[in-house]
Amino acid sequence: MITLTHYLILAAIIFLIGVLGVLMRRNIIIILLSIELMLNAVNINLVAFSHYLNNIAGQVFVFFVMTIAAAEAAVGLAIIVALFRRLETLNVDEINLMKG
């Protein structure tokens, strides 16, 4: 029998894979992809709670999370394009213009 706990632990694992990607990778595109993974983990949690608590609000929230994810991807990728045009790199270690 699949319970809410199964879904919560699955979402935690996917979220942590996203955290691992953000912390470990040097490529800024992969970091942005990892953020998408984390948002998806949150979506799994929200839908699971919505199902087990019989409340539609969770699914409406997932709808909003997807909206924000789309906006975030568009703006984030635009920033990457601008950054690459200026610095010719995607490595976050070399993006240190703000360093004193």
Partner 1 sequence: MGLQDVLFYYFAIVAVVTALMAITRHNPVHSVLFLVPCFFHIAGLFVLLGAEFLAAIQILVYTGAIMVLYLFVIALLNLTGVRGRRIAHRQSFLAAIVVLILMVQLVVLGLTSTFPGPFEKLAGASFLGNTEAVGAGIYTTFLFPFELASLVLLVAIFGAVVLAKKEAGE
Residue 36 interacts with partner 1 (CB under 8 A)? yes
Which of 35, 42, 80, 95 touches partner 1 by CB under 8 A? Answer: 80
Supply the minimum distance, in Å, between the C-beta of residue 53 and partner 1. Answer: 6
The widest CA-to-CA distance across the chain, in whole angstroms, is: 56
State both tokens at 10.
Answer: 């699955």
Structure tokens at 2: 């699949």
**Shortest reach from residue 91's CB to partner 1, in Å:** 6
Q: For residue 81, which amino acid is it?
A: V
CB of 100 to partner 1, least distance (A): 20
Provide the 3-class DSSP secondary structure of residue 56. Answer: coil
**Cα within 13 Å of Cα(94), Cβ side:** 11
Kindly identify the residues of this chain, within the stretch 4-23, that bind partner 1 according to CB under 8 A: 4-10, 12-21, 23
Cβ atoms within 10 A of the Cβ of 28, count? 19
Which of positions 45-64 make contact with partner 1 (CB under 8 A)? 47-48, 50-57, 59-60, 62-64
- Position 42 contacts partner 1 (CB under 8 A): no
